[in-house]
Structure 1
Amino acid sequence: MKFDLAVTVREKTGKGAARQLRREGKVPGVLYGQGECLLLTIEPDSLVKILKAQAGGAALVSLTLTGAKSKPNRTALLRDFQVDPVEGHVLHADLFEISMDKAIRVKVPLHLTGGVPAGVKEGGILHHNMRELHIECLPGTLPDFIEVDASGLAIAQGGAAYAQTRHNVGMWVIERAAARWSIRLAKRSMAHRGSGRLGSELLELAGTLDWMNITGPPLKGLLREYSLTADDLILIHDDLDLGLGRLRIKQAGGHGGHNGIKSIIDAIGTPQFVRVKVGIGRPAPRQDSADYVLEPFTKEEVEIVSPCLDRAVDALECLIHRGTAVAMNQFNVREKPEEDEGILPG
């Protein structure tokens, strides 16, 4: 939806000028882009109407500028605004001038439709973690929101939808290990699990079917089921800060901004567990990290990552038979950081 907004270009700058405008019942604003920056005076009623109508989406605005030296009519995105936390008045607005023939990258609200999902009717809980999507489009095709029909979503189906993504590379290692060690994986509760032996060691392989960011509670339950502690855990996860196809073993540490690992640390009460990190590389400069990890690998990337998965299984065998220090010395090859998925030697 496109909105009309009449504004006045102002010359006075600084906090004092902005405060004076607010005392007069106006909203100070700034128009960025297209090689210039204009200070604006905005009528609050017109601005509030846009904010209410757009309800969190990116507002496309047709501006009429009084006092502009050139181009009195422009198109802009309402990029940001500030609201008084006590009285609720709009304190400031940022607009960004755009061209209708050039693509823009914006966040768009995500609306679920279809009523109660099938999985909820079966006793499950719907985790609506993603509230908006990053999209790239021409301004004229910008949607107010994107609808997703969740009526057919079954228990664990949301996690399964990400099976081929970069974020799930830890599960790929689990599957490689299961194949090499002749361990059959089967769905049990919210995980693909399988028990077996590696030499004299009894193992439980487990890869969550739940959302990555809430891995902690089910893993805590699994440890409790086998009377194990964090010392018995080896976590396998993807790592943005490792180059594509690189491998690193780490003994303990923080979560490094990875919500899956944070969930595990919070649930089991300690960061003292071994991690095997598989590098997935960094996103492009303007790409959001959350979007990047939830995308599938390209064909070329799979060819690079695949040997790393086998090497990760080699690392697991070394960890189990020879210990962390030996494995780190053998498999760590310069680089750094952290993320999620598990194997439990018993």
Structure 2
Amino acid sequence: MHLIVGLGNIGKEYQGTRHNIGFETLDYLSDKKGITITKKEQSGVTGVYREAGQKIMLAKPTTYMNNSGQCVAGLMNFYDIPLENLLVIYDDIDLATGDVRIRQHGSAGTHNGMRSIISHLGNPEFSRIRIGIGRPRPGSELVHYVLGRFPKSEFPAIENAIMEAAKGVDIFVKDGIDLAMNRINVRKKIEKTAEKKTEEIQEKQE
């Protein structure tokens, strides 16, 4: 079994906030796969689908962000899921809004949800998809920023990021983390290079 975890906070007041991009990605995935994420277990809600001979569980912790590890560790232990089959999706202020990066391991950075998961598992060696939400303006409080909502101007970038992250999940499940990194991360680099060249051409024409 593969366990795909999206991080966020439960409750209507948190819907659509930057910190809930992991939840939104799982909502997109569950709709795409034709399932619901409603089964209550291990301090979270889950939904399962099968694809390419694999059983995949989507999970949202219901403990609030800072205690996400309680749910993840509980599911991993209960279903005896190997660490290499865990993939966590979350927001990252160190990436520009809409950027998507897949990593095989790493630190928690400033993300409290990831800190909780690493603490409960006792090991940072698991895969993750980071979705960029950008940084707050200098002087702004981080907590207010991550719990704020995206402006309409950023909706297209976020919608595209969610779709890219979902593609990353599919590749991870079918072909493994290395291919997921190669395809998603390289695609983003190519897109950035193309955008830069377009901007340079436009500047020269002006």
TM-score, with structure 1 as normaliser = 0.49
AA at the equivalent of 1:212: M
Contact 1:230 1:272 in 2 (8 A): yes
Map 1:95-114 onto structure 2 (within 5 A): none
Matching of residue 171 in structure 1 with residue 23 in structure 2: yes
Displacement of 1:187:
4.6
Larger proportion of strand: 1
Deviations for 1:35-83, whole angstroms, at most 9, x for unmatched residues? xxxxxxxxxxxxxxxxxxxxxxxxxxxxxxxxxxxxxxxxxxxxxxxxx
Which residue of 2 is the match for residue 210 of structure 1? 63
Point out where structure 1 has 5 or more consecutive residues left out of the alignment.
Answer: 1-157, 335-346
C-alpha distance in structure 2 between counterparts of 1:164 and 1:209, whole Å: 16
Deviations for 1:56-112, whole angstroms, at most 9, x for unmatched residues? xxxxxxxxxxxxxxxxxxxxxxxxxxxxxxxxxxxxxxxxxxxxxxxxxxxxxxxxx
Matching of residue 233 in structure 1 with residue 86 in structure 2: yes
SS of the residue corresponding to residue 159 of structure 1 reads coil
C-alpha distance in structure 2 between counterparts of 1:231 and 1:326, whole Å: 14
AA at the equivalent of 1:210: T
Matching of residue 186 in structure 1 with residue 49 in structure 2: no
- Deviating more after overlay: 182-191 vs 205-214: 182-191
Structure having greater relative contact order (Cα 8 Å, sep ≥ 6):
2
C-alpha distance in structure 1 between counterparts of 2:27 and 2:126, whole Å: 21
Which residue of 2 is the match for residue 297 of structure 1? 150
- Give me the CA root mean square deviation: 1.4
Which residue of 2 is the match for residue 150 of structure 1? none
TM-score, with structure 2 as normaliser = 0.81
Which 4+ stretches in 1 moved above 6 angstroms?
Answer: none
Aligned length: 177
Select which of 63, 69, 76 maps to 1:223: 76
Deviations for 1:174-214, whole angstroms, at most 9, x for unmatched residues? 11111111222215143231011122110110012221011
AA at the equivalent of 2:29: A
Displacement of 1:311:
1.1
Q: Name the % identity.
A: 33
Which residue of 1 is the match for residue 175 of structure 2? 322
AA at the equivalent of 2:149: P
Deviations for 1:288-311, whole angstroms, at most 9, x for unmatched residues? 111100111122222220111111
Point out where structure 2 has 5 or more consecutive residues left out of the alignment.
Answer: 1-8, 190-206
Which residue of 1 is the match for residue 140 of structure 2? 287
Larger proportion of helix: 2
AA at the equivalent of 1:197: R
Q: Which has the larger radius of gyration?
A: 1
Map 1:1-346 onto structure 2 (within 5 A): 159-160=10-11, 161-189=13-41, 190-332=43-185, 333-334=188-189
